[in-house]
Amino acid sequence: MLTALLILILGWIEADARATVDFDTQVLPALTKHGCNAGACHGAAAGRGQFNLSLFGSDADRDYEAIVHEYAGRRLRFSDPESSLLLTKPSGRVAHGGDEIFDPDSETAGLLLAWIEQGAPRGGSMKIDRLDVLASPVILEGGSTGYRLKATARMADGSVRDVSDTTLFTIDPSSGLGWDAERRFAVPERAGRHRILARYMNRVTSVEMIKPYAQNGVASERNAGQESSALASPGDLTQRIDAAIAIQLAAAGVTPAPRVTDLQWLRRICLDMTGRLPTLEQIQAFESEFQSAPEGIRARWIEALMRNDAFVDAWSWRWARWLQLKVNPTETKAYEAYVAWIREGVASDRSVRDMGGELLTSSGDSHDVGPANFARTATDPRTHAELIGSVFLGTRLQCAQCHDHPMDRWTMDDYHGLAAIFAGVDRGRHVVLTGRGQVIHPRTKRPAVPRIPGAWDVHGTERGFKQFSRWAIAGENPTWARVMVNRLWHAMMGRGLVDPVDDFRETNPASHPELLDDLATEFRASGYRIRPILAAIAMSDAYARGRDARLSDVDASFYAQCIERPLAPELLVDAIHDCLGTTAIEDSLNGATRAVHLLDASAPQPTLDILGRCVRGNACADGAQSFGFSQQLHWLNGTALNQPLESKNTFFSQAIDLGVPNETIVTEGYLRAFSRYPTANELDTWTDQIPLARDPRLQWYQDWMWSLMSSPEFLTHH
Amino acid sequence: MNPCTSFHPRRLHRRSFVQIGSLLPLGIGLGCLRETRGATSAHRVVKKVKSCVLLWLDGGPSHLEMWDPKIDAPAEVRGPFGSISTAIPGVHFSECLARSAKLADRMTILRSLTSPLGEHGLANQYLLTGYPPSPALQYPSMGSVVAHHRGSVDRAFEANGLPPYIGMPEARTSMGAGFLGAEAEPFFVGSDPASPQFRVRDLEFSPGVDWNRFDRRRRMLAQLEAWRAEGQLEVGSEKGTAFEAAFRMVDGAETREAFDLSGEPDSVRARYGPRSFGQGCLLARRLVEREVPFITVVQSGWDTHENLKLSLRDGFAGANVGVGLIPTFDAGVASLIEDLEARGLLEETLVIAMGEFGRTPKLNPRGGRDHWPRVFSAMLCGGGIPRGLVLGASDRTGESPHERPITPADLVRTLYHHLGIESKETLRTPDGRTIAIYPNGRDIHELL
């Protein structure tokens, strides 16, 4: 009750006496605040009940027209303002499909009434430059922390106003955040990271609060925003990574999981660098080196693995995913040229900036010029714009095709302007970047003005795609560097700092913004080369963390423990054969010997497809998802695992023929599948069950390996 | 993120100041309830629908040759077939739907479906998900929504060992889980139920594996799990074995039996028709008997751009008895309805027959019809759907809706209502957006 009183006092703000009401900065934001122009209501593309507003008030001119003039002007009644439909409907006095939205006595009703009484003036068109939201901590009774939210708008004319009253704050209902909308007071109830979305005029932003976990019982309340700005630690990138992670862990009151064992670290680094499980030889070499020269062993192994041919396989496969590689199945030459270009780039650790530039600006015969195939991935200017948005800006521009992006700053002009830049691309075998071609802007019904999204309209003599390339890739603070280091971080850590990795937007900020900037700066400083960044991440403590059951409630974005994730189907299929010592039988992988060589995920491959290979457009942008029903059954009874188990070439089949004792075979099985030794109990339990006769013994091993390989310890990256 | 969720909770008005502190934890997420409250309160309480069978006529069935014949129209509109009267006085079906016609008094026929989408991929997304295709989001199909819903609400799936969403024979685009992910994906049997070699994909053991070995594998895996649970290992602590569902399905004699058509008398199998579709309907009936929530039977080949006589009725040149698309469909759907009714299951089973659009009102020069989404028909039966109702009408030539236009979104939200999903229920995308299950449309109140 005391808490309630405190909030009440803090939150009490007396409404100002009414001056002239402004449409852009008061009326529309009020409608937005009450959800009137949300996608589920009048903001839907088709509107509701014949009343159509722009989504979240992004188009003030159109909305003014709809409110004041459409419907024969019956939405406003100047002779009797109180009976205007704009008031009577949402306040429930006249039947309203959306029921009662606000009380007739509410401030909003008063505001709308005043505006109508004043003759519903349009007022001057006012643009907003930026929206800032501050969450000020307030210690509540009992020592917990609540936050008062304040929204400030910086307008185009330079004025700064407090717009807290008319800003729409949105809370994720499942977030465990107590929220008093009237007083703009938030109380995190569940420990962890909380975000509130704020929307005013056509700007959205978010503000973050961290409630510490009660772990160890010594948590102290801190505001993450204040702490993270203190990141100025010296040292190399690896140390700075760990410092950035540690600061947030401290703010969250979390003690991270201890390091994994050395062999588990080896498994992890082999999977990440080469896409393969460590071989027996690698395990032995690592162990003996650990005996003889433990100093610097991890750095040496990271370096060595990056020189391994399998590194080129694994990271070319990742590149193919990033680029959403897809080639016409009848044009083998195009596929080969594209793949050769990618592999060459990975093998020589080429500058990613140069590679990006070539992807954006290459033309010519796509059967010779590998990167020219990038333009052919798209089918038309709009998909081209979306592809570029995803690959180079890490952003989903799609929403802005039909309306200004509701969760970001992208407008329809940005979307169609970017499409217009690539409208003149001839996507045949001979890629030509012509200046011709147009895209019709659906709002103006005229050709869209070519535009660098969020920046400027294309002008001057330099071609649009060159300007775009310069802006996105080569400029002062290119998005591409941040997008790429985020992908590298995601590949190594199992989660992007911005997550999902293709969803950079104003309302989805990085978990560790300074770290993302730091990685991007270092990336540029090191000539846009991937390997130094990978090495720095791999050397960190954050990378080497194990798991700890006590941390199961802690949000993954704190990196308190290793993020366990399923192996991507390609890596899984290769791991089956590496683990068993078999090779993929002829034609089972479209002629390839390893699944990781199949870079075009749109080319059908039954095993990979049934195991849930990520195909574009599905909910698996991160590459692997847990087994659904068909996958489970296939793993149980299908060919992917059973066929290799039956092979004469499995390590255990050969060992049996050579008379190897069971202890040795079981140990080898553990090392191959789990990259660790069995415990004494495990070894005893298994060896006690093994039949003596050859055939039953072989079958026992088949079943046993099946079970090892069906265990999460094999199926996941951990 | 749903903007509605920041609405003021209705009771949290200034008048009730004193309660604010104590209400804080509850004061969220109520805003959208009001949107369609009026619609739900009017709904009758009917027998709970346990299963839904979707008969998907892939390619776009001709409304003019099925449920909406134009007897009096000129020959190029009327098409090659005559019409017959049905069990609903004054209502005619195409003459090829002889058995369906006798059961028309159990059905609702929608004759005024309308959509702007005339391309297969876009149109089937609209019909199967209720949402017009969006480049920004892949919406889940009805079956996946139901599977997801039952999985989280009833756990029906645990009772019988069968997947909650089963399709046959092979998957078609737009029938998947979209943003809901792997656990809501359909299980397609991957084999032709009419074939003597019919085997549900991966349900039988791999060669050389028998029950003993299956049990041993399961035991061994359970042993590994037990060690993990003891905390010897910190790996994989998140959840139990990933194979429980598959184990249960392979394990249960009943689940195998569910797919075993050989147990059906020859006369029954014959009644459903010899083709894949008919036997699929029979299989669907067996799955309904086992309370599988959603079953899709796909009939391919409805994209009939030429020679309607051959494709729709005869099946092959010179056929004495037609085995084309319509007779095949007719035998399957009629047998399914008859059997469900005889078993007392029709009221708790919703049967839907539809495709992605209709066909052009005028025959083309090749004696076929092309894509026509402006007006088309669908059949609904059972599950509390009114009996003997023809809803909406196309105009004289089957070109446009004449009265009561119904969009796919209207249809899908109404079907969701029948399937026990409420209007306020939502789904979450992986990136945290809240999406209403009910697409944006109007309930078809005549069906409620």
- CB contact under 8 Å between A173 and B29, yes or no, is yes
- A557: nearest Cα among A507, A495, A486: A495
Which of B4, B201, B292 to mutate to test binding with chain A, by most A CBs within 10 Å of its CB?
A: B4
Pick A548's closest partner by Cβ from B5, B183, B234.
Answer: B234
- Segment B205-240, tens digit of pLDDT: 999 999 999 999 999 999 998 888 776 555 544 444
Cross-chain CB nearest to A386 (options B20, B37, B135): B135
Contact: A173, B434; criterion CB under 8 Å = yes
Judge: A633–B4 Cβ closer than 8 Å, yes or no: no
Query: Does B18 touch chain A if contact means CB atoms closer than 8 Å?
Result: yes
Band of the pLDDT at B26, cuts 50, 70, 90? Answer: very low
Instruction: Answer whether B184's CB lies under 8 Å from B177's CB.
Output: yes
CA-nearest residue to A501 within chain B is B431
The mean per-residue pLDDT over the stretch B374-399 comes to 96
Q: Which of A358, A65, A636 is nearest to B201 (CA)?
A: A636
HSE at residue A386, side-chain half, CA atoms within 13 A, is: 17
Other CB atoms within a 10 A radius of the CB of residue A139 amount to 11
The pLDDT value given to residue A551: 86
Shortest distance between the Cα of B426 and any Cα of chain A, in A, equals: 12
A620 vs B181: CB contact, 8 Å cut-off?
A: yes
Nearest residue of chain A to residue B39 (CA atoms)? A97
Task: Return the pLDDT at A667.
Answer: 98
Higher pLDDT, B14 or A393: A393
Nearest CA in chain B to A173: B29
Q: Where is pLDDT greater, at B28 or B420?
A: B420
Per-residue pLDDT at B371: 94
Sign, Cα dihedral of A232, A235, A240, A242? negative
Residues of B in contact with A34 (CB under 8 A): 7
Our CA-based measurement puts residue B180 at a distance from the nearest CA of chain A, in whole angstroms, of: 7
Residue of B nearest to A407 (CA): B1
**Joined tokens for residue A31:** 């409608």
pLDDT along chain A (718 residues), means of 10: 45 48 88 81 76 84 88 86 89 82 87 90 83 88 85 91 88 76 86 87 87 59 40 75 95 92 96 97 96 94 96 96 91 96 98 94 95 92 90 86 77 91 91 84 89 84 84 80 96 92 86 95 94 97 91 88 91 96 80 89 84 60 66 92 95 96 98 97 96 96 97 92
CB contact under 8 A, A546 and B234: yes
CB–CB contact A46 B440 (8 Å): yes
Cβ(A377)–Cβ(A325) below 8 Å:
yes
Full DSSP string of A356-408 = HHHHHH--EETTT-GGGHHHHH-SSHHHHHHHHHHHHS----GGGGTSS-TTS
> Taking CB atoms and an 8 Å limit, are A718 and B176 in contact across chains?
no
The answer to whether B342 faces chain A, any CB pair under 8 Å, is no
Residue A226 has what pLDDT?
39
Distance from CA of A24 to the nearest CA of B (A): 20
Mean pLDDT of B396-415: 96
Nearest CB among B185, B206, B250 relative to A630 is that of: B185
Q: How far apart are CA A645 and CA A629, in angstroms?
A: 22
- Return the pLDDT at A615: 63
Q: What is the DSSP letter of B221?
A: H
Q: Give percent of chain B above pLDDT 90.
A: 65
Q: Do B197 and B291 touch, CB atoms closer than 8 A?
A: no
Q: Do B21 and A4 touch (CB under 8 A)?
A: yes
Best of A567, A630, A666 to mutate (most B CBs within 10 Å, chain B): A630
Give the phi and the psi of residue A619 in degrees, each rounded to 5: -85, 55
Instruction: Count chain A–chain B contacts defined by CB atoms under 8 A.
Output: 247
- Look at phi and psi of residue B79 and say left if phi exceeds 0, alpha if psi is from -120 to 50, else beta: left
B77/A399: higher pLDDT: B77
In this prediction, residues B151-175 reach a mean pLDDT of 76
Q: Judging by DSSP bridges, how do beta strands B349-354 and B51-57 pair with one another? A: parallel
Kindly tell me the burial class for residue B318, based on how many C-beta atoms sit within 10 Å of its own C-beta (0-12, 13-18, 19 or more): exposed
pTM here?
A: 0.79
CB-CB: which of B3, B27, B237 is closest to A179? B27
Q: Tell me the C-alpha distance between A654 and A648, whole Å.
A: 7
pLDDT over 50 (residue B2): no
State the distance between the two ends of chain A, measured CA to CA, in whole angstroms.
47
Contacts of residue B180 in chain A, CB cutoff 8 Å? 619
Nearest-CB residue to A172 (from B1, B32, B134): B1
Is A66 in a helix, a strand, or coil? helix
Of A278-282, A420-424, B292-296, B368-372, the poorest mean pLDDT is in A420-424
Residue B30 is predicted with a pLDDT of 34
Q: Is B432 on the interface with A (CB under 8 A)?
A: yes
pLDDT tens digits, residue range A538-564?
A: 999 999 999 888 887 788 899 999 998
Q: Do residues B184 and B175 lie in contact, with contact meaning Cβ atoms separated by under 8 Å? A: no
Q: Which residues of B touch A564 (CB under 8 A)?
A: 235-236, 238
Q: Nearest by CB to B431, which of A35, A503, A703?
A: A503
